[in-house]
């Protein structure tokens, strides 16, 4: 009979261990799900920021071209004024 009691205790211990492992696994899965959700959120923000930066770069390039054009026109006008003054 003692062998059955010992065997029952071992089975109970194993069942408890399995339940503990299941709980730990469920917790790990939930943490993974939450982290995956956070990663997706951050990836979305990165995409938004990348688009904004690209747009600002494009705007800056366009403004620089306009500024260069205005600078050239001003230089040309100054050159014409200098030639008239001489």
On whether the pTM is more than 0.75, the answer is no
CA dist 64 and 77 (Å) reads 20
74 phi, psi to nearest 5 deg:
-65, -45
Q: What is the pLDDT of residues 31-56, one digit of tens each?
A: 999 999 999 999 999 999 999 999 99
Which residues are CB-contacts of 48 (< 8 A; sequence separation ≥ 6)? none
Answer whether residue 77 shows pLDDT above 80: yes
The H or E element spanning position 75 is: helix 2-85
7-to-13, 15, 58 alpha-carbon distances in Å: 10, 12, 75
């Amino acid at each position: 009979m003692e062998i059955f009691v010992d065997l029952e205790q071992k089975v109970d211990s194993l069942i408890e261990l399995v339940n503990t492992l299941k709980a730990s696994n469920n917790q790990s899965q939930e943490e993974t799900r939450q982290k995956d959700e956070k990663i997706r959120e951050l990836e979305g923000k990165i995409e938004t920021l990348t688009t904004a930066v690209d747009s600002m770069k494009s705007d800056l390039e366009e403004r620089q071209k306009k500024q260069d054009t205005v600078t050239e026109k001003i230089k040309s006008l100054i050159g014409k004024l200098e030639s008239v003054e001489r």
